[in-house]
Amino acid sequence: MRVGRAVALALGRAGFDVAIAYHRSARAARVVVRRLRALGARGVAFRADLADPAAARRLVAQTRRALGGLDVLVNNAARFERTPFATTTEAAFDRHLDLNLRAAFFCSQAAARVMRGRGGWIVNIGDAGAHRAWPSYIPYTLSKAALPALTRSLAAALRPHRIRVNCVAPGAVLRPPGFPLARWKRVTRGRVSRVDEVTGAVVSFATCAPSVTGRVRSVG
């Protein structure tokens, strides 16, 4: 949730009202909401398993009711688990694609229905590392590597409705659990991406949206 939390707070500081989605950590979500309100933003949190398309639709509807509109969607929800090739199960494979890729599609579909006629912005959070060979994280890298293609297709589909779609694909932000430090340094070439670099890109897109009224949903 680290990147999602940072994105939500950065948008709050930029003057947006923010709704965040959480699945398990209600306590962490409440902390983010309190910090948003301390910034002077309206902050709300909703529990949602975004691997379920119906939950994505409910979340957008709840956000619209709570904040009075929806101008920016940030697709950040993701699963990141070690899945060695020889032992990866169908369930583990599906869990990654359902949350990392399918959720982005159906959240975008639901948000676009609200944004049509008003304009808006959709930002997908990808991963530059997904284009490298990570044999113990194949479902994760597959799902994240597909996000740029999804972004391009959504951008073409939604352009007539003044809804712009972009993908922010940072380098490594956190070392994967169990990933050897020595190899991690080689993968990242000694440098990891800073969270503020990710939030800066998202806020830059959000503040250039064609019709921004201060309503935003950030999926954390």
Annotation says 185 is catalytic: no
Annotation says 144 is catalytic: yes
Catalytic residue chosen out of the listed positions 22, 140, 144, 185: 144
126: left (phi over 0), alpha (psi -120 to 50) or beta: beta
Estimate the crossing angle of helix 2-13 against helix 195-206, to 10 degrees: 50
Q: Which residues contact 83 (CB under 8 A, 6 or more apart)?
A: 92, 93, 96, 136, 137, 138, 139, 140
What is the pairing mode between strands 215-219 and 72-75?
parallel
Q: For residues 217 and 122, what is the distance between their CA atoms, to the nearest angstrom?
A: 10
Bridge partners of 163, per DSSP, are: 120
Catalytic residue chosen out of the listed positions 22, 137, 140, 185: 137
Instruction: Give 48's DSSP letter.
Output: -
Task: Name the residues annotated as catalytic.
Answer: 137, 144
